[in-house]
Amino acid sequence: MAIFISVWGVITCGVGLFMLLKPQGFADAIVLFSRQDYFHYVEIISRLVIGAALLLDARNTLYPLVFEVIAKILFIVAIILVFMTEKHHKTFALWAVKHCLSWFRPAGFCALILGLWTLYVSID
């Protein structure tokens, strides 16, 4: 069983449900989080940690290549965020909330499906 990937699947399901059921609440949470001093650093570190967990646990799933690709994408995004200033990162987050709110519900549905699929392929 791929423990790290299963945990990531549960978290993805939770975030997906939140986006699906309360897209405005999700948007408000992004705005609130973006105001924190540690926002930029948590975004970078969380992507590195999740990427490492997915990469380390990928071989324990039915589709290791999928999780290796997702991990590498997370690493690339983390590297981009390192070179992006906090100011630009916050500006982008607020822009996304304002212009992409109508996409949160469909994205939540996709995240829920991805999370359920992740749980399915991570359990022996």
Averaged pLDDT, groups of 10, the chain, 124 residues long: 89 97 96 94 96 93 94 97 93 94 96 96 83
Specify burial of residue 5 (Cβ count, 10 A radius: 0-12, 13-18, 19+): buried
Q: So what's the pLDDT on residue 1?
A: 64
pTM: 0.87
CA distances from 47 to 53, 65, 74, 118, 121 (A): 10, 18, 5, 17, 21
So what's the pLDDT on residue 2?
A: 84
* Structure confidence at residue 118 (pLDDT): 95
